[in-house]
Chain A
Amino acid sequence: MSKSATIEQIRSHWLVLARFIECQWLNLLRTPAYTLPTLMFPIMFYSFFGLLMIRGQAQYLLCTFATFGCIGAALFAFGVGIATERAQGWLTLLQATPAPIAAVLVGKGFGAALFAAIITLIMSVLAAVFGDVRMATGQWAGLLLVMVLGSLPFSALGIGLGMSLAPNAAPAVLNLIYLPLGFLSGLWIPVSQLPGWLQDVAVWLPPYHLAELALHVTGTRSGSALISLAILTGYTLLFVLFAAWAWRRPKTSMNQ
């Protein structure tokens, strides 16, 4: 292949990806019935628990509730989104075109990342104004980066679930996973305030480790974050394998 043909192919791939990201963002922004609850739910929780009820832990709870919000955005954007699009035929139509599946999924991933960024930014403003949280610019930026990147493993989990669940079952099943996972990982109230046996459970859950990374990057937690990074990487690989399996699972009927 000539150099110009290669350049043209790369340009074309980027264009496709840009189109999917654009369509995903436009679709989300034009769906307030989905967008507002997804954004407002964790922000409202943070306002109640992090700023009004539990005093003096605004920075800690900023990290955990931002984690809670980003995980929700990723799980629901992919889990419910893909299950619905599968049932309505949009994914089938895309699968019949030369659309690279990576572009379809990355487009969705950017939707989840956009939500993660918006949730983190709004919470950060609330934390600074009402919770008197003060951090260096690099720490604010670090929190934002951790949340945006941290949505990726949960996006992969969402893909796997979205490809496996019926569209009417997806929201209920995802809530059954999301809410207990958030509570057990110490995202609503600090892990130290949970009973001992629940603290033992928390350290095995991926949201706990994403929150730990956020706590480290904001200087709320000292010491090394390598264990959390390693465990979260392991979970990411596991979720990616699950997503790949669910996506490539042989389809023998038209309704799968």
Chain B
Amino acid sequence: MHSKAVATCRNLSHRYQNHAALDDINLDLQPGEITVLLGPNGAGKTTLIHLLLGLVQVQQGTITVLGQAAGRREARQHTGVMLQISGVQDNLTVFELLQLFVSLYPRAMELDRLLAETDLQSLHNRRFGQLSGGQQQRVLFAIALCGNPQLLILDEPTTGMDPAVRRQIWSSLEQRRKRGTAILLCTHDMHEAEQLADRIVLLNHGRVITHDTAEQIRRRLPSQLIKVRSSIQLTSIAASDNVQSISRTDDLLTIYCHFAEPVVRAILNADPDASELEVTGTDLETAFLALTKANPSTVEAKHE
């Protein structure tokens, strides 16, 4: 049983002119949980984050953050955010920047603790513009932690970081999770998602494709990938529940399924001339690609 959600979205839809950026999103961010938001570019992830922060007006549906409408000052006082584009002023030192942001929050972290947690002590006198990309990301992460947030929203926080620093950020996130912070993590890094996610929300074309615990999703995902050259009709093998998706490029079929053997048998029975047959296991990344594949034939083939 879940405790009260820190943030909720109900029937949230958002349009940019004729384009539906989000369509009927329902989401709860629970305390002490890391929710990973996955999806290809243009799936609606950044729109969702901006709506949660109150940076874009809600058009349809509702969002509450800590019992307040998104964007209310009371909600922002307990929300930490790391955006992809932050425009931090290059001429200010790390210390000056953190001092500024710490002053904004009612229950802010002590600067020394913040510098230690983000390993920025040795850089505190350097100007932001003089830092490497990875170091700048760490400063932005520190800015997100300034207010000791109950809700932490991170948009691709570890992009450009070396593996050691990335692990340090993960460790910091795990500590925050243990302390009850609700974390929404948007990432393209499947390894990061697998390491950290309590729940995964997969967005595609503005809709939630999957929303479940990481373990449940892993169970449901296709585990095997078949590649074969064949002129076989897609409909003859797409009907099975075993098959997750099929796509065709010329005569090369790419099939994601739970069990390869019955599919291979069906192909060979229907088309003895099939060639270049290859069966491999799929990792989370490949499986997600299968689920979000933009090629319409993937979807059409499954629903034919």
* Contact of A90 with B104 at beta-carbon distance under 8 Å, contacts A95-B55, A97-B76, A253-B16 already known: no
Interface of A is mostly: helix
- Among B68-105, those with CB < 8 Å from A are 73, 76-77, 79, 81, 83, 85-89, 91-92, 96-97, 99-101, 103-105
Which chain B residue has the least Cβ–Cβ distance from A85?
Answer: B87
Asked if B56 contacts A253 (CB within 8 A), the reply is yes
Asked if A23 contacts B57 (CB within 8 A), the reply is no
Contacts of B59 in A (CB 8 A): 252
- Complex CA–CA separation, A95 to B92 (angstroms): 19
Task: Flag the segment in B45-53, B186-194, B263-271 that touches A.
Answer: B45-53
Which chain A residue has the least Cβ–Cβ distance from B101?
Answer: A97
Minimum C-beta distance from A119 to chain B (A) = 21
Minimum C-beta distance from B19 to chain A (A) = 10
Contacts of A91 in B (CB 8 A): 87
Asked if B55 contacts A251 (CB within 8 A), the reply is yes
Contacts of B106 in A (CB 8 A): 12, 98
Asked if A30 contacts B91 (CB within 8 A), the reply is yes
Minimum C-beta distance from B86 to chain A (A) = 5
Which chain B residue has the least Cβ–Cβ distance from A92?
Answer: B55
A15 close to chain B: CB less than 8 A: yes
Asked if A96 contacts B76 (CB within 8 A), the reply is yes
* Contact of A96 with B55 at beta-carbon distance under 8 Å, contacts A16-B104, A23-B92, A88-B85 already known: yes
Asked if A90 contacts B88 (CB within 8 A), the reply is yes
Asked if B103 contacts A93 (CB within 8 A), the reply is no
Which chain B residue has the least Cβ–Cβ distance from A99?
Answer: B104
- A79-97 vs B: 1/0 string, CB under 8 Å? 0000001011111110111
- Among A59-105, those with CB < 8 Å from B are 85, 87-93, 95-99
Contacts of A222 in B (CB 8 A): none
- Complex CA–CA separation, A85 to B85 (angstroms): 11
A31 close to chain B: CB less than 8 A: yes
Contacts of A31 in B (CB 8 A): 91
A195 close to chain B: CB less than 8 A: no
Which chain A residue has the least Cβ–Cβ distance from B46?
Answer: A254
Contacts of B99 in A (CB 8 A): 19
Contacts of B101 in A (CB 8 A): 97
Asked if B86 contacts A27 (CB within 8 A), the reply is no
Asked if B91 contacts A20 (CB within 8 A), the reply is no
A223 close to chain B: CB less than 8 A: no
Contacts of A87 in B (CB 8 A): 87
- Among B99-116, those with CB < 8 Å from A are 99-101, 103-106
Contacts of B83 in A (CB 8 A): 89, 92-93, 96
Asked if B88 contacts A93 (CB within 8 A), the reply is yes
- Among A17-42, those with CB < 8 Å from B are 19-20, 22-23, 26-27, 30-31
Contacts of A22 in B (CB 8 A): 96
- Complex CA–CA separation, A22 to B103 (angstroms): 12
- Complex CA–CA separation, A253 to B106 (angstroms): 30
Among the listed B103, B127, B143, which residue makes an inter-chain contact with A15, where contact means beta carbons less than 8 Å apart? B103
Asked if B103 contacts A16 (CB within 8 A), the reply is yes
Asked if A93 contacts B87 (CB within 8 A), the reply is yes
Asked if B96 contacts A26 (CB within 8 A), the reply is yes
Minimum C-beta distance from B206 to chain A (A) = 14
* Contact of A19 with B92 at beta-carbon distance under 8 Å, contacts A89-B85, A96-B55, A97-B76 already known: no
- Complex CA–CA separation, A20 to B103 (angstroms): 10
Minimum C-beta distance from A22 to chain B (A) = 8
Asked if A98 contacts B56 (CB within 8 A), the reply is no
A250 close to chain B: CB less than 8 A: yes
Asked if B86 contacts A89 (CB within 8 A), the reply is yes
- Complex CA–CA separation, A92 to B96 (angstroms): 19
Asked if A97 contacts B81 (CB within 8 A), the reply is yes
Asked if B104 contacts A98 (CB within 8 A), the reply is yes
- Complex CA–CA separation, A31 to B88 (angstroms): 14
Contacts of A251 in B (CB 8 A): 55-57
Contacts of A92 in B (CB 8 A): 55, 83, 85-87
Asked if B81 contacts A96 (CB within 8 A), the reply is yes
- Complex CA–CA separation, A121 to B106 (angstroms): 40
Which chain B residue has the least Cβ–Cβ distance from A88?
Answer: B87
- Complex CA–CA separation, A250 to B147 (angstroms): 27
Contacts of B92 in A (CB 8 A): 23, 26-27
Asked if A90 contacts B87 (CB within 8 A), the reply is yes
Q: Which 4 A-B pairs have the closest CB atoms?
A: A88-B87, A90-B87, A89-B87, A89-B85
23 contacts between A and B (CB under 8 A): A12-B103, A19-B103, A27-B89, A31-B91, A85-B87, A88-B87, A89-B83, A89-B85, A90-B89, A92-B55, A92-B83, A93-B83, A93-B86, A95-B55, A96-B53, A97-B104, A97-B105, A98-B73, A98-B105, A98-B106, A98-B147, A99-B104, A253-B16
Q: A20-B100, A98-B105 are in contact. List 7 more A-B contacts (CB 8 A).
A: A19-B103, A23-B100, A92-B83, A96-B79, A98-B73, A253-B56, A254-B50
